[in-house]
Amino acid sequence: MEADTEHLRQRFEQAGQGHVFAAWPELAERARRRLARQLAAVDLGLLAPMRDAIAALSSPPPRKLAPAPAFALADEKFPYLLSDAARAVAPAGERALARGEVAVILVAGGQGTRLGFDGPKGCFPILPLSGMTLFEVFARKLRRAGRDYGRIPPLYVMVGNHNEQATTAFFEQHGFFGLNPDDVRFFAQSELPGLDDSGKLVMAGPDALWTAPDGHGGVVSALHQKGMLADMRARGVRYASYIQVDNPQIPVADPAFLGLHISEGAEVSLKVVRKTDPAEKVGIFCLDDGVPCIVEYTEFTPEDSRRSDENGRLVWWQGSIAVHVFGIEFLQRLADTGTQLPLHAARKKAGEAEVWKFERFVFDTIPLAARVVCLEVPREEQFLPLKNPDGPFGPEGVRQALQRYWKKALRLARPALPEPPAIEVDPLLCENARELAAALEDRKLDATGPLRLEP
Ligand code: UTP
Structural domains in the chain plus CATH codes? 1-41 (no CATH), 45-387 (3.90.550.10), 394-455 (no CATH)
Task: Report the sign of the C-alpha dihedral through residues 121, 122, 125, 127, in that order.
Answer: positive
pLDDT score, position 3: 76
Q: Residues near ligand 1 with C-beta < 6 Å?
A: 107-114, 121, 158, 189, 213, 215-216, 218, 244-246, 387
Task: Work out the percent of the chain whose per-residue pLDDT is above 70.
Answer: 100
pLDDT given for residue 10 in this prediction: 96
Over range 21-42, report the average pLDDT. 96
Question: Could you tell me if 440 and 453 are in contact, meaning their C-beta atoms sit under 8 angstroms apart?
Answer: yes
pLDDT at 75 over 90: no
Taking the CA atoms of the chain, what radius of gyration do you get in angstroms?
23
CA gap 331, 312 in Å, rounded: 39
Distances (CA, A) of 242 to 54, 159, 166, 268: 28, 14, 22, 10
Burial of 18 (0-12, 13-18, 19+ CB in 10 A): middle
Q: For all residues of the chain together, what is the average pLDDT?
A: 96
Distance 216 CA to ligand 1 centre (A): 7
Confidence (pLDDT) at 15: 97
Q: How many CB atoms are closer than 10 A to CB 128?
A: 20
Q: How much distance in Å is there from the Cα of 408 to the middle of ligand 1?
A: 30
pLDDT (0 to 100) of residue 1: 59
Q: Quick one: which of 277, 214, 217, 258 has its CA closest to 87?
A: 258
Rounded mean pLDDT of 6-22? 97
Q: Check: CB of residue 369 under 8 Å from CB of residue 269.
A: no
pLDDT, average across residues 57-84? 91
pLDDT above 70: residue 220 = yes
Q: Is the pTM of this model over 0.75?
A: yes
Query: What does the pLDDT average to over 142-152?
Result: 98
Predicted confidence (pLDDT) per residue in 107-122, tens digit: 999 999 999 999 999 9
What number is the average pLDDT over the span 207-234? 98
